[in-house]
Amino acid sequence: MIHQIPSYRRRKTTDRIMRGLTAVATLIALVPLFLILGYVLFRGIGSLNVAFFTETYRPPALSFGGEIQAAGGVLHGIVGTFMIVGAATLIALPIGILAGVFLAEYPSNSVATIVRFCTDVLSAAPSIVVGVVAYVLIVQRTRQFSGLAGSIALAVMMVPIITRTTEEILKLVPHGMREAAMALGAPKWRLTLTVVLPSALSGIVTGVMLAFARAAGETAPLLLTVLGSNNVSFDLLRPMMALPLLTYKYTQSPFPAENNLAWGTALILTMLVLIVNLLVRWATRNKLK
Amino acid sequence: MAQLEQAGTWKAIQRRTKHGDTIFWALTLFFALVVVFLVAAIGFVIWAGSQEARQAFGIRFLFEQGWNPVSGNFGALPAIYGTLVSSLIALFFAGPLGVMIGIFLTELCPARLKTPLSFLVELLAAIPSVIYGMWGVFVFIPFFRSTVAPLIAGSLGRVLPIFAGPTTGQSLMVAGIILAIMVLPTIASISRDVIAVVPSHQREAMLAVGATRWEMISKAVLPYSRAGIIGAMMLGLGRALGETMAALMVIGSLKPRIPDSWLNPGVTAAALIASELPNANDSLHESTLILIALVLFGITLLLNVGARLLVWQAARGPGGSIRA
């Protein structure tokens, strides 16, 4: 029988080993995921208390026991992140959505090809390059590090994500809907605004949320444009602090007490990003091919 | 009767909305052109900003080693060396691993587990890079220094000086490993998509002539999707090249130099720019850093365009276009 032929045995063994290796590879990939998330959770949770969320930076101080403690919290980072990324979303939203609408509704002309290519180029641009451009164009011209410069840099990174998602989602809207609206006499602009966009709205929102999560985690452009600050600030035209910048700063700090704050900040940042990603996944669970 | 009335109303409607389509077209075209303008602005700014350095150094800038902001002597070779070494180490680990994960998720995984496992692998890509850097500094580097580095230095290090030496932990090797973790989800998910679109008649034909499942994969599926897999690796490499924060935090070194061993600190292009640009001494220093940014952008662009040609639609899909 075939199972007794030695070469078949050898092939079968190879088959089993290689298939096992692919399963092992997948497990290997999951190890760092759980290690990183686990460490962030366990080391960060100790830093989370009410003061952490409601106070701004306080310099490390010597306590009675002779230990250096870092009191204070990360309110300035939380406020800064939401303001900077919020402003970036406001800037990127109209550009991204309307560019996506253009690509979906007028897809076959040469301008569309160029725009698609440029969207790909923008999404491939390293974040440091975008930061450099924002630094040269805005920070040097205005002689001022500002939250707005950071917002513009982040918006440049968000635009390709929003554009591509909008285009893909709009292309998924069935043509029958458009044709029915046309049959009722609606001009193109009206049917796009009142028929196509509302039905694609959930997909577009998930694209914006993904872009938001990505921008919230970006540090390199902010290093070059926002500089950082120790106070809670609502002024986008001045330097501000943001959560990823704070994580970086506390990691580089020589005080172990501040390093613990870095874990706490990382925990907040990771939870923000993870929750948004989970929401997006849950919302698109029925739309995956 | 009613039709005549409707004709009058219809004319009124047409009169009021006939410009609507043109306005709509113009509005969307305008914002689409903003995207083009952004790319042009990036290109123009880094080209113009690096003008001074390009005139001062010329092409030999890529091959020189010194880095002295005070005397104005700059060479990009340490940055290029560090970037290439750490990215290639990353690709060395993440490439085969990513393809194996793609194979597992497409061919061999039970259907129930496919979505959760894909989601978990892609979650690796969602973690911000500063958190990878922080984890690297506080967790991985001590582990590497105490456990892995002596093993490497003791075994390979005796033979190849590139693996030799005591290490403080911050090194090209550590940067390469952390970059590998960051790049793995990109390679895995694109490989998975590319392998999934291999037509089933290829697989069935192999099985019909008696191949084992692994033989089917290695002889029918992988050669068919070879272009896409190479594209996936190119995109992964592009991502590793541009990675700033994680590399900045674990690669060490204040002075850009080419280390003797991969277990020693080095510098990558992105990390160099991030650490020196806000404090640049003079316009030549700044222009040099922008020139490095230009080189980095150019290489990343070439890799991405090449990868797009290889992968085209296989990497796209609802929500999937974010991956790459």
Mean pLDDT across B282-287:
85
| Stretch B156-182: mean pLDDT | 85
Backbone angles phi, psi at A74, to 5 degrees: -120, 25
Shortest distance between the Cα of A100 and any Cα of chain B, in A, equals 8
Alpha-carbon span A17 to B190, nearest angstrom: 24
Cα(B304)–Cα(B32) distance, rounded to whole angstroms? 21
**Nearest of A160, A91, A99, A150 to residue A124 by alpha carbon:** A160
Residues 6+ away with beta carbon under 8 Å from B130: A217, A219, A244, A247, A248, A251, A266, A269, B245, B246, B249
What pLDDT is attached to residue A166?
93
Handedness of CA B220, B225, B230, B235 (dihedral sign): negative
Residue B268 pLDDT greater than 80, yes or no? yes
pLDDT given for residue B313 in this prediction: 52
| Alpha carbon distance A62, A22 (integer Å) | 53
Helix (H, G, I), strand (E, B) or coil at A284: coil
Indicate the length of chain A as a whole number: 289
| Cα–Cα distance measured from residue B102 to residue B104, given in angstroms and rounded to the nearest whole number | 5
Give the separation between CA B319 and CA B122, rounded to whole angstroms. Answer: 12
Q: Which of residues 291-310 of B touch A (CB under 8 A)?
A: 293, 296-297, 300-301, 303-305, 308
The answer to whether A224 and A132 have CB atoms below 8 angstroms apart is yes
The answer to whether residue B324 scores a pLDDT higher than 50 is no
Contacts of B129 in chain A (CB under 8 A): 217, 219
What are A21-63's pLDDT values in tens digits?
999 999 999 999 999 999 999 988 888 877 778 777 777 777 6
Per-residue burial over B112-135, b = 16 or more CB atoms within 10 Å of its CB, e = otherwise: eeeeebbebbbbbbbbbbbbbbbb
Q: Do residues B179 and B251 lie in contact, with contact meaning Cβ atoms separated by under 8 Å?
A: no
pLDDT at B314 over 80: no
Each residue's pLDDT, cut to its tens digit, for chain A (289 residues) gives 677 777 888 889 999 999 899 999 999 999 999 999 999 999 888 888 777 787 777 777 776 666 777 767 888 888 899 999 999 999 999 999 999 999 998 888 888 989 999 998 998 899 999 999 999 999 888 888 888 999 999 999 999 999 999 999 999 899 899 999 989 888 888 888 888 988 889 889 989 999 999 999 999 999 889 888 888 888 888 888 899 998 998 888 888 888 888 899 999 999 999 999 888 888 777 655 4
Do residues A245 and B295 lie in contact, with contact meaning Cβ atoms separated by under 8 Å? Answer: no
Q: How far apart are CA B292 and CA B61, in angstroms?
A: 10
Question: How many angstroms separate the CA of residue A65 from the nearest CA in chain B?
Answer: 25
**Contact between chains at B38 and A118 (C-beta distance less than 8 A):** yes
Half-sphere exposure (CA, 13 Å, Cβ side) for A195?
20
Q: Do B138 and A273 touch (CB under 8 A)?
A: no
On the 0-12 / 13-18 / 19+ scale of CB atoms within 10 A, A3 is exposed
Q: What share of chain A is helix, strand, coil (3-state, %, to 5)?
A: 75, 5, 20
Is the Cβ of B179 closer than 8 Å to some Cβ of chain A?
no
**In this structure, are residues A145 and A139 in contact, taking their beta carbons and an 8 Å threshold?**
yes
A26, A110, A115: best to mutate for the B interface, most B CBs within 10 A? A26
Q: Are A120 and B49 spatial neighbours (Cβ–Cβ below 8 Å)?
A: no
Q: Which residues of B touch A22 (CB under 8 A)?
A: 100-101, 103-104, 108
- A247 vs B contacts (CB less than 8 Å): 130-131, 134
Secondary structure (H, E, C), B40-107: HHHHHHHHHHCHHHHHHHHHHHHHCCCEECCCCEECCHHHHHHHHHHHHHHHHHHHHHHHHHHHHHHH
Helix axes B269-276, B283-311, angle to 10 degrees: 140
Q: Does B175 contact A at CB distance below 8 Å?
A: no
* B93 CB-side CA count, 13 A: 21
Helix or strand run (H / E) with residue A68: strand A68-69
Number of neighbouring beta carbons within 10 Å of residue B100: 21
Distance from the Cα of B135 to chain A's closest Cα (Å) equals 7
**Which tokens hold the place of A199?**
């039905």
**Residues from chain A contacting residue B213 (CB–CB below 8 Å):** 15, 19
Q: Among A29, A119, A126, whose Cβ lies nearest the Cβ of B242?
A: A126
- Which residue blocks in A56-108 are alpha helix, DSSP H? 75-105
Instruction: Tell me the two tokens of residue A54.
Output: 């409601």
Q: Given CB atoms, is B212 within the 8 Å cutoff of chain A?
A: yes
- Residue B32 to residue A115, Cβ atoms within 8 A: yes
Quick check: B319 and A192 CB within 8 A?
no
A240 strand-pairing partners: A227
CB contact A275 to B (< 8 Å): no
Q: How far is B52 from chain A (nearest CA, A)?
A: 14
Could you tell me the pTM of the whole model? 0.88
Q: Are B242 and A128 in contact (CB under 8 A)?
A: yes
Residue B267 at interface with chain A, using a CB cutoff of 8 Å: no
Amino acid at A163: T
Q: Which residues of B touch A39 (CB under 8 A)?
A: 135, 138-139
For the beta carbon of residue A157, count every other beta carbon within 10 angstroms: 22
Give the SS3 label for residue B15.
helix
d(CA B136, CA B131): 8
- Looking at the predicted structure, is the pLDDT value of residue B97 above 90? yes
Which chain A residue is nearest to residue B187, measuring alpha carbons?
A29
Q: Report pLDDT for B321.
A: 41
CB < 8 Å to A124, chain B: 238, 300-301, 303-304
Which positions 177-216 of A are in contact with B (Cβ < 8 Å)?
Answer: 185, 187-190, 192, 203, 206-207, 210, 213, 216
Q: Over chain B, what is the mean pLDDT?
A: 85
DSSP B126-156: HS-HHHHHHHIIIIIHHHIIIIIHHHHHHHH
Q: Give the whole-angstrom CA distance, residue A209 versus residue A89.
A: 9
Q: Is B93 on the interface with A (CB under 8 A)?
A: no
pLDDT band for position B319 (cuts 50, 70, 90):
very low
- What is the model's pLDDT at position B315? 46
B133 CB-near residues (< 8 Å, 6+ apart): A248, A251, B178, B245, B246, B247, B248, B249, B250
A247–B contact, CB cutoff 8 A: yes
Burial class (CB in 10 A: 0-12, 13-18, 19+), B208: exposed
Tell how far CA A232 is from the center of its chain.
23
pLDDT 10s digits, B29-80? 999 999 999 999 999 999 998 888 888 887 777 787 777 777 777 888 888 8
Q: Which residue has the tokens 């580095």?
A: B149
Q: What is the DSSP string of B211-273?
A: --HHHHIIIIIHHHTHHHHHHHHHHHHHHHHH--HHHHHHS--SS----SSTTS----HHHHH
B37 Cβ contact list (under 8 Å, min separation 6): none
Does B9 contact A at CB distance below 8 Å? Answer: no
The enclosing H or E element of A69 equals: strand A68-69
